[in-house]
A and B are shown apart, each in its own frame.
Chain A
C-alpha cells in the first residue's frame, strides 16, 4: 500500500467534468487588448508628442475610478481588475484629438462607464460600446473643443481631416488630400490621436487575431464593405476608395470597437451581418451626409440591432433543419 499512500480520499476533488479548464481568463483577454493598444499609442506619441500619454493616463484613471466608485456606491463586487474599464479609458483617449481638453476625457469617461456600461448592469450587459458612445456624445455636444484638428507637431496648424474633403457628395479625391502612403503611415495627418497610423493599427490587429482575442472577420468585412460601397459610388476609382478606407477612424474602430464582445453579436452569422451592416452604414453616412464621424454612429446603430440579429441568426444545431427560435431574449 505504501506506493498508493498519496491517494488521500479527503484531498480528491469530486467536481463534475470537464476537469480541465483553459488558462485564458477574462482579465487576460483584456490585458491583450491593452497590449495591442500600445502600438497605436506609440504611433500617436511619435506623431503628436508626449501629451498623448497624459491623455491615455487620464482616460484610464478616470474610467477605472468611475467604475470603482460606482461599484463601491452600489455595494457591488468591484470588477476593475478585469481591465475592461482600462480598455475603455485607453480607447476613449485614443479617439480624441491631441487638442482635446482633459476635462472632456473625464466627462467622456463618466458617460462611458456610468451611463453606458454600468447602468445596464456592467460588463457583458451593455448594449452600446462605451468608448464609441462616449466619443459620439462628445462630438455632438462638445464639438468646438474636440474637433479642432491639428496636424502633428511641430507645425501644429489647424486643418481639416482628409475625410472632410471627400465627404460632402464628392465622388473623387480632391488634390488637397494627402497621399495614400501618408494616410497609411499617418504622416502629416490631423485627426484623433490613435487612428492616424494605419500601420500601427494593422500590426495590433494581427496581434489580436493571432492571440485569438478578436474574430478577424469583423474588421475585414467591415472595411471591405466600406471599400465596396465607396468603389461603386466613386465609379471604381481606386484612389477614392482607398482614401475612404484609410481615412478617419474606420480601421481603428473596425479593429478595436466593432470587435467589442459586450456590444457585438454572439452568433457567427450575426457577426458577419453586424460587420457588413457597420460598413454599409459608415459608407452611407459619409456619402449622404456631410458628416465625417459616421463610423461611431454606424457602430452604435448596429449595436442596437444586435439582439435582433442574434435572435434570428442563431446557428443551425447539428441534425436540425432550421435555426432555433427563441421566444424571449436572454
Chain B
C-alpha cells in the first residue's frame, strides 16, 4: 500500500551530523566577559536586579521575571557587573547585562536548602525560580507550560529528543552521556504532571542514545523510548504528537488541548539540575558545526558566552563561512556578529559555505507538487505563496497560512527555487495585522 500512499509528510534532508554525533561533550573555556540579554525567552523581558559594580557569583539572580510569562536570569560566572545597556543579541539590539569574570567560579546559595522536603507546589516553584525555558529553541517558560488550566488534564508526556535539524547533535549527546540524569528529570516532571503515558522520542539515526536511555530506564516500564523515522521535521510539536498519540492539535491550539505535554531533553535535564541539585539554569550544550568550522564540537557553554569564543574553541575556520546561523539550517536565524552571546535557546550554531548559500535563479513553478508532498501539516504551500504574491490575503488565509509551522521544507524542496516560506510568513504577518485592526 505504500505505493498508493505516496505521501511522505516530511523531507529527507541530509542529516549532516556525522562530524559531531560521536564527539563527547567538552567543557568550553569560560571567557572574561559574558553578556546576558534580558530577553532570551518568550514573554516580558526580565527586570535587572543588579547595578554596575555589583559583585555576583555563579547562580546569583541578576534579572527577575517580569510577569507570568517571563523568566529569571542568573549569572553563569563569578565576577562583577560592568555594564547594563543595549547590546547586540541574536534578536537584534536589546537590553543586556555584561559581567566580567573573576575566574574564581564561586557558587551562590542553591535554589533550596539541603534536606528540605519538596512537595509538588514547591518543585514547580523551584523550576520557575531556576529560570528554565524551552531549550529546544522555543524558549517558552517551562513553569507556565507545567501549569495548564485544570480542565486540560495531561495524560501523555513526550520528552522530545527528536533533534531533526541538520548538524544539530547537542540533544543526542545529552541523551548518550547523561541518560541517568535525564530519566531522573523525567521522574521530576512526573511528580508535577501525572501523565500515564511517557514517551522519549528519538530519531532512528540515534541508536547510541536509544541504548543509553533504555539502560537508564531499567525495569521501569512506564517510560518508553520511541524510535521515529529520520524525517524532517520529525521533532516538531505537531508531528510528534500525531505520530506518538494519533491526536492532532486543533488549529491555533496548544498540545495541552489534546492532553499532551512536550518537553525538550535539554529542558528536562535543566529540570533535574534545578529540583534535584538546586542549580539554576546557567549553562547548556551547544553544537558548533558546519563545513567551514575546523574542529566542530558539542560544548558545555556558560550562558552569556559570545559566539566568537566558541569559534575559537573549535579551532577557528578551515574556510571562510558564507552564513552564520543561530540554530539549524532549516529554521535558524542568520546572524552577522560573533559578539552576540549564547542564550538559553542556543542549541546549535551552524556555519555554511558561500557556495551552499547562493540561491539559484527563480524559475516558473512547474507544478511538481513536491511542496505538498513534504508539508508536515498538509498545506498546499505553493498556492498560499501564489495567493500572497497576487495580493489575495483572504485566499492565503482560507488555504491555511496560519497553520504553517515554518519548517521550511517547501522552500527547501522547490526545484524552481520559489521563496515559498518567505511568502507564507509574509502572508501570516498580514493576516495577523488585519486581525489586530479589527
Contact = CB atoms under 8 A, between A and B. Distances in A.
Interface string B1-15: 001101100010110
B359 A326 contact: no
A325 interface: yes
B311 A12 contact: no
Interface in B389-434: 390, 392, 394-395, 398-400, 403, 406, 408-409, 411-417, 421-422, 425
A233 B365 CA distance: 41
A319 B311 contact: no
Given A4-B312, A319-B403, A267 B380 contact: yes
A328 interface: yes
B415 A16 contact: no
B382 interface: yes
Contacts of B338: 4, 7
Given A17-B330, A261-B369, A325-B398, A6 B319 contact: yes
A82 B380 CA distance: 24
A146 B417 CA distance: 41
A15 B372 contact: no
Interface in A120-151: 122-125
Interface string B243-277: 00000111101000000000000000000000000
Given A26-B416, A266-B372, A17 B331 contact: yes
B412 A4 contact: no
A103 B386 CA distance: 40
A125 B386 CA distance: 13
Nearest to A25: B415
Given A9-B336, A25-B417, A266-B369, A16 B422 contact: yes
B13 A20 contact: yes
Contacts of A22: 11, 412-415
Contact of B399 (A17, A124, A326): A326
A280 to B, nearest CB: 17
A17 B405 CA distance: 13
Candidate in B249, B352, B366 with the most chain A CB atoms within 10 angstroms: B366
B400 A15 contact: no
Interface string A72-86: 000000010010100
Contacts of A20: 13-14, 166, 329-330, 352, 356, 412
Interface in B317-372: 317, 319-325, 329-338, 350, 352, 354, 356-357, 359-360, 363-369, 372
A284 B334 CA distance: 57
A10 to B, nearest CB: 9
A186 B259 CA distance: 61
Interface string B372-390: 1100111110110011001
Interface string A319-330: 110001111101
Interface stretch (A108-116, A157-165, A213-221, A237-245): A213-221
Contact of B337 (A9, A215, A261, A317): A9
Contacts of B322: 11-13
A83 to B, nearest CB: 11
B366 A84 contact: yes
A14 interface: yes
Nearest to A24: B415
B292 interface: yes
B191 interface: no
Contacts of B31: none
Nearest to B409: A18
Nearest to B252: A319
Contacts of A24: 413, 415
B48 interface: no
Interface in A270-327: 271-272, 314-320, 324-327
A164 B366 CA distance: 36
A123 B416 CA distance: 11
B324 A262 contact: no
A101 interface: no
B316 A21 contact: no
B398 A217 contact: no
A317 B334 contact: no
Nearest to B402: A317
B242 interface: yes
B347 to A, nearest CB: 15
A262 to B, nearest CB: 5
Nearest to A3: B316
A15 B395 contact: no
Nearest to B412: A18
Contact of A82 (B363, B411, B413): B363
A68 to B, nearest CB: 16
A61 interface: no
B164 to A, nearest CB: 12
A261 B400 contact: no
Contacts of A317: 251, 377-379, 400, 403
Interface in A14-46: 14-22, 24-26, 28-29
A2 B73 CA distance: 32
B214 interface: no
B359 A15 contact: yes
A26 to B, nearest CB: 5
Contacts of A79: 363-364
Contacts of B14: 20
Contacts of B312: 3-4
Interface string B144-188: 000000000000000000000010000000000000000000000
A174 interface: no
Contacts of B330: 17-20
Shortest 6 CB-CB distances between A and B: which pairs? A3-B316, A18-B408, A318-B377, A315-B378, A6-B317, A19-B329
Given A12-B335, A217-B3, A262-B367, 7 more contacts: A4-B338, A6-B292, A15-B334, A29-B368, A272-B4, A317-B378, A319-B377
12 contacts: A3-B315, A4-B316, A6-B292, A6-B320, A17-B332, A18-B329, A262-B367, A315-B380, A317-B379, A318-B249, A319-B403, A326-B398
Interface of B: 3-4, 6-7, 11, 13-14, 166, 238, 242, 248-251, 253, 292, 308, 311-312, 315-317, 319-325, 329-338, 350, 352, 354, 356-357, 359-360, 363-369, 372-373, 376-380, 382-383, 386-387, 390, 392, 394-395, 398-400, 403, 406, 408-409, 411-417, 421-422, 425
